[in-house]
Structure 1
Amino acid sequence: MVLATGFSAWAALAGSRAAKAARSQVATLINAERPFLYLKIDEPGIELLEDGQLEIERSRIRYRICNAGKTPAFLYEVCEKFEVLDGSEPVVALNPYEDRGRLLPIGTVVNASEPYKVAANLIKEGKGFEMLTVWPAFTGKRVLFKGFVRYDDAFGRHYIYGFQASFSPPHRAWAFRGGEEHNYSREETVDEIPPHPRYSSQIRAA
């Protein structure tokens, strides 16, 4: 009886260790295969003339949300903010649990060969861009593009990718700026994500 009891305990311990190892292997596989999103800006959307003035007519930014991972990303929510700040104004990071974005149609998928393409008119959709129409356009001002993307993977896990870029007039290009509160990529649990204001209740599966 003692021998049988000892064997049962050993078998239970061995089974527990095997299950833990299996879970660890699954987690490692998911992390290795999961999608990783990043932002690629193709056209800056801000045209500068030789005298430093801003060209308004063609102020249309074009960018892509790309996937550097091995499996597809199922996009769920995208938030984009374009704003111009005076030099004295602080740069406030978006709060993805309060500053919500637009919901995308079910089935919006991004893989390595098919990015999600977006175009936006900075003058019409941005905040404070009218300040750039007064010469000299960029003196004492900061032009920001910030946002986040919520997405799922094929394994049912939820992620969020946040970004913030600042426009550099001398280089006529956007550059990512700010610390981890502005630029990040992390996993979320379904309990962390508040119901979107467009829905009366959370409809996503855990």
Structure 2
Amino acid sequence: MPATATPVVHIDDDRFRVTEWQFAPGAETGWHRHGHDYVIVPLCDGTLSLDLPEGQKAEAKLTQGVPYSRRVGVEHNVINGSNSQPLAFLEVEVVDDATAHRRRDTMVAMMAAFNARDVDGVMACMAQECAFHASAGAEAEGQRHIGRDAVRRATEAVFSAFPQAAWTEGQHVVAGDTGLSSWRFVGQRADGSAVDVRGCDVFAFSGDLIAVKDSYRKARV
């Protein structure tokens, strides 16, 4: 039975987990899949062997103090194949990225629901306590629709006002509890006139769902 690499956790909070992995000669981590984006900071020079899925093999060159990053989903077994040299590195995991990924998925699902004219799909992306601030209205925030019933009616009104509509070129980013979706809106109003503008939605999240959808768009003149 191979020796097991030793993990020493230095930081573990709601944003980061920092683990020092210590490898005696021949030690390995065992098979695992990374659930977060992460950065490796080598604490010494050396070479680690990697067992990869489907029987593949690779090596990771370590240069002391020179970091490298990997994305969520990496699956491997990490081995110190040296017969004499211990190796070590710091693994810095961005543990709040999982929340960001889920929130981005919500933003993608909302745009898809708008393009499908699916009111239920839109509401499935909204939190129980939610609001929609329209891009125009008498108030500084635009017309505010507060509560699920009001948000549903406002969404239905958008679909009625634009019998043909498509939100295209969507880009979605998340920072903490705030999300931003930018898009190009191409459609046709109920009177038959065309509309083609760029805009964005600023989202405030409650958990993985949207508490406030705050819309902005260019006004053509």
TM-score by length of 1: 0.30
Q: Which has the higher strand share?
A: 2
Tell me: higher relative CO, structure 1 or 2? Use CA pairs within 8 A at least 6 residues apart: 1
